[in-house]
Amino acid sequence: MSGIDKLMVHIVDDDAAIRDSVGFVLRTSGYEVQTYSSGTELMKHVGKLAQGCILLDIRMPGMDGLETQQKLTHQGVTHPIIIMTGHGDVSLAVRAMKAGAIDFIEKPFDNEMLLGAIDEALACVAADDAGVDRKKQACDRLSILTVREREVLDRLAGGLPNKSIAFDLGISIRTVEVHRANLMSKLEVRSLSEALRIAFAAIGE
């Protein structure tokens, strides 16, 4: 296994079944895992978190995922954060990504999606260690988009749904869908979160 695979995955979710099932998948795939039942519990260990990434549920009683993310940032924690949401709330996920989360996955997610997101997060740790300029890389990738595709992506990054983007640009929803599919193909990404990550990296968010 590569070095990035041996880093820790910190799972934060108030649902014990999720902690157990996700933890099992990750451990059997060769990852080190630490689980926390709440953002508050995670923050108790914030000064001694093993290097790796944080898998953070966005909706939890008490301190929710967004508040936990904010507190981690204020504490200077730089671990890549993957947001988990079971509510299909893209606007919340976009807020989290604007605040620095590198990805979001929607419950229920399959093992391939989960492991892919973890691999991307741990690759970011390795890239940061190597001093990779992600902003320049992102700008280079976005340069191949047409003006209209970039307009669509910018509005997706603003948390707007297709219907609002269509109204804003004076085009049909179907045309928005075509532009969205085209830009994802050009960027060679499989999910909205991957496209958003590139968009935010390009502007340094």
> Looking at residues 174-188, what average pLDDT do you find?
96
**3-class DSSP assignment, residue 10:** strand
pLDDT (0 to 100) of residue 134: 74
Q: Would the pLDDT of 55 be above 80?
A: yes
pLDDT (0 to 100) of residue 132: 54
**3-class DSSP assignment, residue 54:** strand
> Looking at residues 109-114, what average pLDDT do you find?
88
Structural domains of the chain, ranges and CATH numbers in brackets: 3-129 (3.40.50.2300), 134-202 (1.10.10.10)
Planar angle of CA 189, 192, 197, nearest 5 degrees:
75
pLDDT (0 to 100) of residue 5: 44
Q: For the chain, what is the mean pLDDT?
A: 87
pLDDT (0 to 100) of residue 67: 95
Q: Would the pLDDT of 4 be above 60?
A: no
Q: Would the pLDDT of 1 be above 50?
A: no
- With CA atoms as reference, report the closest residue to 196 among 178, 180, 175: 180
Range from 2-11, 83-92, 124-133, 162-171 that averages highest in pLDDT? 162-171
Q: What is the dihedral of CA 176, 121, 20, 104, to 10 degrees?
A: -20
State percent of the chain over pLDDT 90: 52
pLDDT (0 to 100) of residue 106: 86
Q: Would the pLDDT of 32 be above 90?
A: yes
> Looking at residues 147-154, what average pLDDT do you find?
95
